[in-house]
């Protein structure tokens, strides 16, 4: 082709391009109105909402750029509740050629100031979306290469309008290759309110379920770092967690682990390392959790729990309801966890079975926690020599051998029931024995002050006069008959004071009304 022909072809091509640009420039107004009207109609249909738009601008140079500001969707037109969706600004970028094809391809969508208010399950507003007879993938063959949203807020609205909502702050959301007929890859970073910390999620979302959006599947992995337990009153420590979740939005199966190197209750000065392995079912639409199994390990003790964490009332927070069991705990570990002392007062193997209820209130965890359970401790050893000496003396006197010295006498199994509320533990049916004696008691222990108030009965093989020697023994023979019942000596006793300075004595004025203790060991 000659140079002249190239010039003619180039001139024709330039003229066509110029004509297209001029045509698009004059069509910008009609195109803008068409896109706006179709967008509003789609949003109204899909979300069954009134749609408000402050401004809608379309630019065709370079490429297609749409900026929509002040987007508000009000479900069923209601103004008495927060809008279903609010977006400060939507920015869309696309190639004109890709918009003109059979399948619409949008390069990117940026959402600024996104807020979503989700009505509670079971309310009249829960059906925010409505089924359509058309296949979305066929009716709207749209592919969005990238969706970006920074500083978005998801606010699940509580059933009780007087209850304060707990928003989830999504610092960053990045979704790739979004379409209606297949999953889209996503990356999200959000803040967990309690305990406060950052959650990082990576996975796949979709395909979108038009008939029942809560059934839309998700498959992802997460990490939860540096969660501060000080946001839960009464606890301290920093938690990290890793795991995965999979399933529909309203029934996510979650598996993971947590680690806290410095977990502590406010009643103790001994932070310890706590590790858990857990599996749970999470309702992503309201945050309720069913704990299928939680295995917690600290020091040399393992506790297995199951239960739920759910929103039950108008109060702030959620109710924790668990059943916890340990078949072979260490009593020294439990004391280290719960009691503020330089070292545990005893060691031994412990069996524990308790119901744990932490209701929704503003008080700290120790004040809110309710316990109802039972325990048994075996292979008991006392770390305090003075306590062991008292046990030895008790056993010798109970056998009528007060002249014997210390020898480290072993206690029988120590068992009982307990209930805790408002930081006070109430014990009942406490019983243990040594050779020649048995003790049954009931009483209370204050978690904060360490105050003791226990009353019970000591039963001995020996008579009172046989517990001492010399002249004291002679004079006490006169009172032996008053304390002798069914071949045993029965003495009402009390333990008061504090855990650090206990006081032991006779309880002649207020004897405890106890169930019969096990026979004394002979």
SS3 20: helix
**pTM for the whole structure:** 0.76
Banded model confidence at residue 316, pLDDT cuts 50, 70, 90: low
pLDDT for the residue numbered 129: 39
CB 73 within 8 A of CB 94: no
Structure tokens at 510: 């207020």
Separation CA 193–CA 168 (nearest Å): 7
The string of pLDDT tens digits covering residues 30-63 is: 656 666 776 677 666 656 678 888 888 888 777 7
pLDDT for the residue numbered 356: 94
Over residues 173-199, mean pLDDT: 86
HSE, side-chain direction, 13 A CA sphere, residue 293: 4
Banded model confidence at residue 277, pLDDT cuts 50, 70, 90: very high
Q: Is the pLDDT of residue 131 over 50?
A: no
Q: Is the pLDDT of residue 130 over 70?
A: no
Q: Decide: residue 397, CB within 10 A, 0-12 exposed, 13-18 middle, 19+ buried.
A: buried
Lowest mean pLDDT among 40-49, 116-125, 417-426: 116-125
Structure tokens at 84: 């279903």
Banded model confidence at residue 113, pLDDT cuts 50, 70, 90: very high
Structure tokens at 43: 């949003």
Q: Is the pLDDT of residue 313 over 70?
A: no
The string of pLDDT tens digits covering residues 214-238 is: 677 889 999 998 888 887 788 889 9
Q: Decide: residue 487, CB within 10 A, 0-12 exposed, 13-18 middle, 19+ buried.
A: exposed
Separation CA 168–CA 38 (nearest Å): 31
Over residues 285-289, mean pLDDT: 74
Over residues 94-114, mean pLDDT: 81
Structure tokens at 370: 């309710």
CB 473 within 8 A of CB 465: yes
Banded model confidence at residue 21, pLDDT cuts 50, 70, 90: very low
CB 375 within 8 A of CB 352: yes
Q: Is the pLDDT of residue 136 over 60?
A: no
Which value, to the nearest 10 degrees, does the dihedral of the CA atoms of residues 308, 311, 313, 314 take? 150
Q: Is the pLDDT of residue 283 over 70?
A: yes
Q: Is the pLDDT of residue 125 over 50?
A: no
Structure tokens at 296: 């917690």
Separation CA 505–CA 243 (nearest Å): 55
Which value, to the nearest 10 degrees, does the dihedral of the CA atoms of residues 396, 400, 401, 403 take? 100
Separation CA 173–CA 201 (nearest Å): 10
Q: What does DSSP say about strands 196-205 and 49-52: parallel, antiparallel, or unpaired?
A: unpaired
pLDDT for the residue numbered 5: 44
pLDDT for the residue numbered 253: 93
Separation CA 230–CA 414 (nearest Å): 35
Banded model confidence at residue 79, pLDDT cuts 50, 70, 90: confident
pLDDT for the residue numbered 464: 83
Separation CA 499–CA 167 (nearest Å): 43
Higher pLDDT, 345 or 286: 345
DSSP element (H, E) containing 269:
none
Nearest to 176 by CA among 141, 213, 147, 206: 147
Banded model confidence at residue 99, pLDDT cuts 50, 70, 90: low
Q: Is the pLDDT of residue 262 over 80?
A: yes
pLDDT for the residue numbered 354: 96
CA–CA distances in Å: residue 124 to residues 108, 128, 433: 35, 10, 62
HSE, side-chain direction, 13 A CA sphere, residue 334: 18
pLDDT for the residue numbered 119: 65
Banded model confidence at residue 263, pLDDT cuts 50, 70, 90: very high
The string of pLDDT tens digits covering residues 423-475 is: 899 999 999 888 888 889 999 999 888 899 999 998 988 888 888 888 888 77
pLDDT for the residue numbered 35: 65
Q: Is the pLDDT of residue 112 over 90?
A: yes
Banded model confidence at residue 120, pLDDT cuts 50, 70, 90: low
Q: Is the pLDDT of residue 98 over 60?
A: yes
Q: What percent of the chain has pLDDT over 90?
A: 29
Lowest mean pLDDT among 114-123, 294-303, 341-350, 412-421: 114-123
Structure tokens at 488: 């045993």
Lowest mean pLDDT among 205-214, 293-302, 398-407, 432-441: 205-214
Q: Tell the residue number behind the tokens 């008579």, with chain if given.
A: 463
- Averaged pLDDT of the chain: 80
Lowest mean pLDDT among 4-8, 267-271, 381-385, 475-479: 4-8
Nearest to 446 by CA among 340, 375, 361: 340
């Amino acid at each position: 082709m000659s140079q002249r022909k190239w010039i003619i072809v180039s001139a024709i091509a330039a003229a066509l391009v110029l004509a297209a640009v001029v045509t698009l420039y004059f069509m910008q107004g009609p195109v803008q109105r068409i896109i706006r009207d179709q967008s509003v109609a789609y949003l109204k249909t899909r979300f069954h909402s009134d749609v408000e738009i402050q401004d809608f601008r379309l630019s065709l140079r370079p490429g297609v750029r749409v900026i929509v500001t002040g987007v508000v969707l009000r479900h069923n037109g209601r103004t008495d509740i927060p809008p279903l969706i609010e977006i400060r600004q939507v920015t869309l970028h696309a190639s004109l050629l890709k918009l003109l094809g059979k399948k619409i391809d949008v390069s990117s969508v940026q959402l600024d100031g996104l807020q979503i208010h989700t009505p509670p399950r079971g309310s009249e507003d829960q059906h925010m979306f409505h089924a359509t007879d058309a296949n979305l993938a066929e009716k709207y063959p749209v592919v969005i290469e990238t969706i970006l949203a920074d500083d978005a807020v998801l606010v699940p609205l509580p059933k009780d309008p007087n209850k304060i909502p707990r928003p989830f702050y999504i610092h960053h959301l990045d979704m790739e290759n979004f379409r209606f007929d297949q999953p889209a890859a996503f990356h999200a970073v959000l803040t967990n309110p309690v305990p406060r910390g950052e959650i990082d999620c990576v996975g796949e979302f979709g395909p979108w379920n038009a008939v029942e959006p809560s059934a839309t599947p998700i498959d992802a992995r997460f990490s939860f770092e540096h969660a501060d337990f000080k946001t839960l009153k009464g606890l301290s420590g920093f938690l990290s967690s890793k795991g995965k979740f999979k399933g529909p939005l309203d029934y996510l199966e979650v598996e993971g682990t947590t680690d806290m190197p410095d977990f502590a209750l406010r009643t103790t000065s001994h932070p310890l390392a706590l590790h858990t392995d857990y599996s749970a079912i999470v309702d992503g639409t309201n945050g309720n959790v069913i704990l299928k199994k939680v295995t917690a390990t600290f020091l040399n003790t393992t506790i297995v729990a199951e239960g739920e964490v759910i929103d039950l009332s108008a109060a702030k927070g959620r109710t924790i309801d668990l059943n916890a069991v340990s078949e072979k705990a260490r009593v020294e570990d439990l004391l280290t966890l719960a009691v503020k002392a330089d070292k545990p007062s005893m060691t031994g193997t412990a069996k524990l079975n308790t119901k744990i209820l932490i209701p929704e209130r503003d008080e700290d965890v120790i004040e809110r926690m309710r316990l109802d359970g039972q325990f048994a401790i075996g292979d008991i050893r006392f770390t305090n020599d003075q306590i062991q000496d008292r046990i030895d003396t008790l056993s010798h006197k109970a056998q009528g051998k007060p002249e014997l010295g210390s020898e480290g006498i072993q206690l029988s199994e120590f068992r009982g029931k307990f209930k805790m509320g408002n930081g006070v533990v109430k014990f009942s049916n406490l019983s243990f024995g040594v050779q020649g004696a048995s003790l049954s008691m009931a009483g209370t222990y204050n978690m904060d002050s360490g105050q003791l108030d226990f009353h019970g009965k000591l039963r001995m093989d020996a008579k009172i006069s046989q517990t001492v020697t010399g002249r004291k023994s002679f004079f006490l023979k006169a009172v032996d008959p008053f304390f002798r019942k069914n071949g045993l000596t029965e003495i009402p006793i009390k333990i008061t004071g504090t855990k650090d300075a206990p006081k032991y004595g006779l309880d002649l004025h207020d004897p405890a009304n106890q169930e019969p203790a096990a026979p004394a060991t002979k």
